[in-house]
Amino acid sequence: PIFAVPSEHDFKGLNKILFPTEFTRPYTKYELKPLTELAATWNSEILIIHIAQEFSLNDEQLSNKEVLIKRLGKVEHSFQNVEIEVSVADSISRFAIESRADVIVLINYKHTFIEKLTREAVVKKVGFHTQIPLLVLPQ
């Protein structure tokens, strides 16, 4: 995991952890372990945001959401939908500020060649522009 804290950030604690997802991949116990341990240590709430233009989930996404709920266990969490306005990265940053999140947690997935050409580089965009600490978890 990589934990990046902007130099101007005044750390006061971790009450709210923002975890954006599209529910397109299953979550392993190991990739979410740093997230759940961080939340448990600080007694934080995990704000899980579904970033999309349409919020109906297909069967695979519903299954992945159920796995996520199971992996989070007793850690306090909530789900919210956030509509994409300009880009996914901008929507994440905007919601983080509005919700007063203390850290953004992203999973850095390996992408295929086609995905690299057609998808937004969310981790890179958020990482270079956020004023809130960022925790990047490996897949």
Q: Look up the CATH number of the domain holding residue 127.
A: 3.40.50.620
Q: Is residue 3 very low, low, confident or very high in pLDDT (cuts 50, 70, 90)?
A: confident
Backbone φ and ψ for 118, nearest 5 degrees, come out as -110, -15
- Mean pLDDT across the stretch 29-56? 92
- For residue 9, CA distances in Å to 4, 51, 100, 102, 109 come to 11, 25, 13, 10, 27
In angstroms, rounded to a whole number, what is the distance separating the alpha carbons of residues 24 and 2?
22
For residue 62, the model assigns a pLDDT of 96
Number of domains in the chain: 1
Segments forming the whole domain that contains residue 30: 2-138
- Say yes or no to pLDDT of 19 above 80: yes
